[in-house]
Structure formats: structure tokens, C-alpha cells
Chain A
Amino acid sequence: MDAAQYAENFLQALTAGLLTGAIYGLMCVGLSLIFGVMRVINFAQGDFMMLGMYAALYATAWLGGGPAAPWIAALLAGPMIFVVGVLSHRLLISRVTGLRSTALAADGHYAQLILTLGLALILQNGGLTVFGSAPVSIATPLSSSAWELGPLLGDRISVFVNQGQTVGAVIALLAVAAFVVLMNRSRLGKSLRAAADNPVAAIYMGIDVERAHRLAFGLGVAITAVGGGLLATVYPFQPYIGLEYVIVMYAGVVLGGLGSVTGAFAGGLVIGLVQQLSTLVLPNQLQNTAIFVVFLAVVLLRPQGLFGRAARRT
């Protein structure tokens, strides 16, 4: 391989990284909302994403084809998973979070972690029963068409940009933008931010924190589910896919800094780039190992910066 070949591979990986990264970014935004508002680690986030993928799969079939069906289906996954999320919160998660958690050991952090782990196990394995174990994918009319950039540098380098992935990335960007507007402009967004900042003070200001948490959880898993629906048009999936993406999402959220929407999006973008660029130097199977290494490096090297400020233990 000569230099031009390397450059072409690099540009190709960079493009792929940016396109998947945008979708990861959207998924990270959903997780970041939940973590930011509720301070709960949701282990089941990846499994809600998986639900979103299957929701999009069935919605695509229900819409009966048509060129735009997969994208509309991905967006429809949002409200569907929102309902699932709100119900999960009301029935299970609300019992160990928020104001009730102060009575539990370590403010209920472990109870929350482990509860969502149980939820993840049920969703994964229940998914196996309902959806079957065979990998499936959502085909879009644009999946196999690409734009060719170039030839560049005297027709030695050409970069192909998949049209299907580009549409997905653009939808992801628009969804993030819509969410930012929602958080900054609407009453709901303000109450979510207030509940995140100081739940007790928010209660005194007449905000129903329990409801804010419920909505944040529903909205958070819905956003991730839309990301999942978009991702489903790119990669095949099966019921166990959630687990890998939990780490992908947490890596992005941690990287971007907690509580920041744009940070989470940027973090997801970086993780997408790391994943794709790692294929230049590592075998394909180690893509995810590269992400885990980046994740570990970030949490280990910036331990104090990660909760926002350096707090000493007293």
C-alpha cells in the first residue's frame, strides 16, 4: 500500500466515523439526559436502544415500504419507547430513586444500578424469546448507494459516502438540535433542568420532581431509541446488542462531560471516530476493545473532573 492508499483508507474511516458518530451522539444525548437529571446509571439504556431497533423494524414493515419508511419508523420508535420508559420508571425505577433513595444505603446508587441491571437482563432475554436470536437489519433504498467524492489528488483517491448513512446522520443532528431547543425554550425543559440542578429546591419552587424524573427517563430512552432506529439501518442487530452499546454510550457521555447535551453529542461523535479509525491499525474484532480502552483511559486519567468538580470526601 502506498501513501495515497493510506490517505484514502483514512478519509474513508473518517467519513464512516463521522456518520456513525452522529448517531452515537444522539444516543449519548439520551443517556446524558437521564444521568444528568436523575443521577442514575441506567444499565438498561442499551436494551431500550435494542427495543427501539425492533420497534423501527416492525414500524418499517407496518408502513409498508416506501423510500422514507425506515427513517419515519426510526422516529416513530421514539414515542413507542417513551411509553415503555415512563412505565418502567413509574413501576420500578421510581421506587429506588429521587427522594425515596435517601433512606437507602449509599443514597440508593447501588439499588438503582442493580435494578437497571435486572431490567437489562429481562429485556435482553425477553427480547430473545420475542424477537428470536437471528440477526436482522433494516434495508433502506439508499443503503447501497454512495456519493463519490473525488477523484482527488489526480484521481488516486476517492472517498465514498454512503447515502443511507448520511440521511441517518442528518436526522440524528436534527433530533439533537430539536432536543436542545426543547430543553432551553420549553417549560418542560426548564423544569427538567431545575430538577437536575437541585431537586429539593425545585420542589420548593413547585416543580413536581417525581414527574420530571419520569419524563426525563422516558425522554432519555426515547432519544436513544431513535438513535437505535437509525443505527438499525446501518448495522444488523439481535437482542443482545444493547450491552456493547451501554459502554459505547457511557464512554461518549463521560468523554463529553456530565450534564452537557452538546458535550454528550460531541463525546458520541468522538467514540464513533475512535471506533472507525481504530480499524486502520487494529483488526476489526477489536473495534469495541478500542472503545473500552478509551473509556477506561478517560475515567482513570480524569477521575476528579468527571463529576464536574473535585470533591474531597469529608
Chain B
Amino acid sequence: MSTAASSRRHAVPIALFGVAYALVTLATGNEYHQLILTLVPVWAVMGLSWNLFSGYSGLVSFGHAAFFGLGAYFVALAQVQWGMTPWIGIPIAGALGGLAGLIVGLPTFRLRGHYFALAMLAYPLALLYVFEWLGYQELTLPMEREHPAAFMQFADHRVYALLALAAMLASMWLTSVLERGRFGLVLTAMKQDEAAAEAAGIDPRAWKLRAIVLSGALAGAIGGFYAVVLLVVTPQAVFGMLVSSQALIVAMFGGVGTVWGPVIGAVVLVPLSELLHARLGNEIPGIQGVVYGVAIIAVILLAPDGVVWKLRDLRQRRASAANANVAPTAIVADDAPASARTIGPTLLEVSGVSIAFGGLKALDGVSLRVATGEILGIIGPNGAGKTTLFNALNGFLRPAAGSIVFDGREITGQPPHRICAAGVGRTFQVVRPFRRMTVFENVLAGAFVHEPDEIRARTIAVDALDQVGLRAIESVSAGGLSNRDLRLLEIARALAGRPKLLLLDETLAGLDTEGVEAVLAVVKRLAARGTTVVIIEHTMPAMVRLADRLVVLDHGAVLAEGAPEAITRNPDVIDAYLGKRWRTGDAVDR
């Protein structure tokens, strides 16, 4: 698929919509209707701004009024105090919004879930009181009779509507470009499973910051424009709860994480609430808020992801019913015998690593060495610390003591995305795909580690899919895959990061015989191509066939290590893990 062609395909509906909207605007004579036609794109841009951050990252912001209000007050104050025209003021308001995003994001991204949402709520409310205290209860933009157009003041109010429309189309175009590029892919992946994304080499903090800066810039700029349209700025109108809520609600109503969602939300809700307010505002003064409240409750109960996703899901269900009989994945031929591999110098050296959870010592001075090109198996009873060891190796857990040296570099305590970039890929005991993304997108998300260029990243992803034999189903949504294909998908995602070392955590768990063979074949082939593999596994016969060497963990410590044949005869290992039936020497042949 060509990026240029697909970007043209998305630009056409946006352009058509823009032309239609402009025609409607030009044909509207009523000034009140012209104001509504201006407010629709204003709130659509606010929704797009919210969506750019919260929609893709999944972190709900209740505080977008902070950026909006700062922009509005900057434009108004700059004109009042320094006579600065909004033509210059609005871009600066955008920059200010972006800066505010950075300042808010830096500390607040330490929070998760509920706390993030609450903290975001506090920023605009704190600003609201500050601006009241500063004495800006009501700031009026001066009329510029000499050069009205130079100060963005027009007798014909349709000009405002057209300016707002231009801002909306630009925001839509920006969103659509970002959505289909690395930005959208990475944020969508993080939203679905942040830990898995981090293990695939994505730095969550850096991407969230990028998102909130962009989002804050959009909100700041449109806030500045809003000040120009209304000519009066009050703290409640620009920092108030309804501003943040409206941004969130138009986006959620239409559909989070989409280009059209916030626009649809604004097109439906803004005129509805404005017209009801005009008609019933005297008897029912709070009608606007009630409309938004009812709208958001209805959406949450009926279509939690918004109108656009509801439609998309319905369409997809029909489509997937049509091609339910996807061809089974090809079993990759076991063409390279394990013996062809060459074992090289030490790639990973773990010395004395300890991790404790409260009083429980999950790892107690574990030391082991992995040679380049080798397949090392890790076995041991449940709770022996196998997965904890992997979590320490890929940076999910910081060891309390000990060191981990990979490829000649100390990686102890580094964050997962950096360890991934250093060349350590991993899979998970319980599979963690990005379920709402296609197989190809899942793998592509992992391909940006060494390759910021999108076209080349795509090539890498295709290559990784080829290696595990999932190419045929690359456009299927990961949520619908079989266990075997999910296991292979995780391997492909890890491979896309071009790892030198692959950590496979119970990759064979829950597979039938045929599935085990398929995955084993893939792992052997990877090893034959030079990838070093450390694998945790309970299926001993498979392990004995696959691994060059076994390490046995028990109670967080290394109980034994050596060649598979020796390990299966080791009496300590038999007592601690294998059980008595391994005392009869024929077990290995099964």
C-alpha cells in the first residue's frame, strides 16, 4: 500500500466536506446561525485536540480547558495590552498551549488511570481562580475601527465561520496524517497494552509528551480564536468545566481515536445545544449542559467507543463473517538442523541478581551466562522465579542487587524500551497482543525500534511476518487469532525489533501437538539464523529437543545447569521439579 495514494484517499472526503460546509456557510444570512456555524468547527477542533491526546493515548484528560483558556487569555491580553493582532496572537497562543502541555505532562504522566484524570481536572480550575484573582473577570477585546481586518474583526460574520472551518480542516488533515503514521500506531499500541508496547521498544513517556504538546497547541490556538469570535473572555467561559467536558464529549460521542468522530460529535451536539438554548434558555437555563450530559451518558451506555466505531464494528463483523475461512498458517519447514549453529562468545551475563517482593525473595542471587547463538532453556516449578527473571532482563523490574551485562553493556535497571533497543526482545507467558490492531500493525509497532523511517519499517515487519509464516493473515485483527497464531505474532513483533537475544516465556503453553511443532520449527529456524534464544518452558520433551543447555530455577535460585541429558538425570532436579517418572532413563525419547 502506497502512503501517498492512501493519504489522497483520505484527503478527498475531508475536502468534499469542507466545500459543502463552506457553501452552507455562504448561503446563511442569519447572524445567529452564522455564530453556530463558527462554533461547530471551534468545538470540533477542541474535540480533535482532545482526541489527539486522549483518544489515541487512552489517558482521559478532564483538563483541556487549561490550554484553551490560556490561549484565549493570551490573545485577548496581547491585544488589550500591546495591541497585538490575533493574526500573530493565535499562533503564539498555539505555542503557549503546546508549552503548557509539556509543563503539565512532565509531572502528570507519572500518574495512571483515575489519578491522572483527577490531576488534569485540577489544572484549569486552579487557573480559573488565578485569573479571577488577577482581576480579569471580564476582558473585552477593543474594537479596531481603523483596520478591522488586520485585527481579525469582520462585519460579515461568515468570515469567522470560514476561518474556523479552515482550522477544522487543517486539524482533520493533521489528525489523519498522524493517525496513519508512526504516531497513531505507537499510541494505539500503548493504549491497548503499555507494558507490551514498552517491551517492543516504545518509550511511552516520550510519545505521550509529543501527543499532549500537539494537543495543547491545537487547543491553545483555537482558544485564542474563540476569544476573537466572542470578543469577551471570562474565566468561567474558557477555563470552566464545560469547556473540558465539551471537548471530551464531542470526541467520545463521535468516536475516540478517529478523524471524523470529534467532527461528527460537534456537528450534532453544538447546534442541538445552541438551538435548544436559544429556544428554551429562559425557562431551562442549564439546557446546554443537560444536552451534553444526556448525550455522553447515552453514548457510554449504547456505544461506549462512539458512533464511528459502532458503525465500523458493524461493518467489520459483516466483513469477517464473509471471510471466516482464512487459510491456516503454513507450517514453516524445519530446514535448518540445530547442529548447524555456531556457539560464540558470551552475549548475556547475569551475576547475583536478586529481587524481593515484600518479604518474598523471588530471585536470590541468580547468575547465569548465555552464549551467542545458543538456545538456553529455563525450567523450574511454578513460582521458581522464571518470569521474574525475564522481567528483570527486559527492564520491567529493577533488581535490588546484582548486574546484567548484555552485549558488553551494563543494562541493569534500564527502562524496557531502551533494553529492547539494545537488542533484547521478549514474548509473554499470557499473550499480550494489541488486540484492536491487525497482525501487520502489531508487528509494525515493534519495527520502529531501529528504523524511524516508515517505509523501511514496513519492510522489516513484512520480513518478520515471513519468518513466522503469518504473512497470509497480516490484515486480520489480532483479537480474532488462535492461540498458536498469537504466539507466533508475539515472536514476530519481537523479531521486528531485530533482537540479538529473544526471551520466550512459555511460548508453547496451551498449544496442541501440531501447534507445538509449528512454533518449535520457527524457534529453531530463528536460532539457525543467528538469534540467541532463552526460553522458559514446562514441556520437557520439547525442551530437551530444542535447548542446547538447561538452567533449573527453584525458589529463586539456580539449582542446576548443564546439557539436557545431564539435567534430566540430576537427582536434585528430579526431586524438585521433574518427578519420579524421570528416573527411568527412557523418558527423553518420548
Contact = CB atoms under 8 A, between A and B. Distances in A.
A106 interface: yes
Contacts of A110: 58, 60
A157 B453 CA distance: 73
Nearest to B292: A121
A243 B242 CA distance: 11
A28 B107 CA distance: 26
Contact of A288 (B110, B111, B129): B129
Interface string A86-109: 000000100110000000111001
Interface residues of A, number: 49
Contacts of B289: 121-122, 124-125, 128
- The prevalent SS among residues of B at the interface is helix
B372 interface: no
B146 to A, nearest CB: 37
B381 interface: no
B132 interface: yes
B304 A105 contact: yes
Contacts of A303: 110-112, 115
Contacts, number: 147
B304 A117 contact: no
Given A95-B301, A122-B290, A125-B290, A285 B114 contact: no
A125 B111 contact: no
B108 interface: yes
Contacts of B241: 243
A29 interface: no
B195 interface: yes
Interface string B297-328: 10011001100000000000000000000000
Interface string B101-114: 00000011011111
Interface stretch (B116-124, B514-522, B569-577): B116-124
Nearest to A40: B114
A285 B132 contact: yes
A128 B277 CA distance: 13
A144 interface: no
A110 to B, nearest CB: 5
Interface string A268-309: 000000000000000101101100110110011001001000
Interface centre among A243, A293, A296 (most CB of B within 10 A): A296
B290 A121 contact: yes
Contact of B248 (A96, A114, A254, A293): A114
12 contacts: A92-B297, A95-B301, A114-B300, A122-B294, A128-B286, A128-B289, A243-B125, A288-B125, A295-B119, A296-B126, A303-B112, A314-B195
Interface of A: 41, 92, 95-96, 104-106, 109-111, 113-115, 117-122, 124-129, 133, 239, 243-244, 246-247, 250, 254, 283, 285-286, 288-289, 292-293, 295-296, 299-300, 303, 306, 312-314
Interface of B: 58, 60, 62, 107-108, 110-115, 117-119, 121-123, 125-126, 129-130, 132-133, 194-195, 198, 241-242, 245, 248-249, 252, 283-290, 292-297, 300-301, 304-305, 391, 396-397
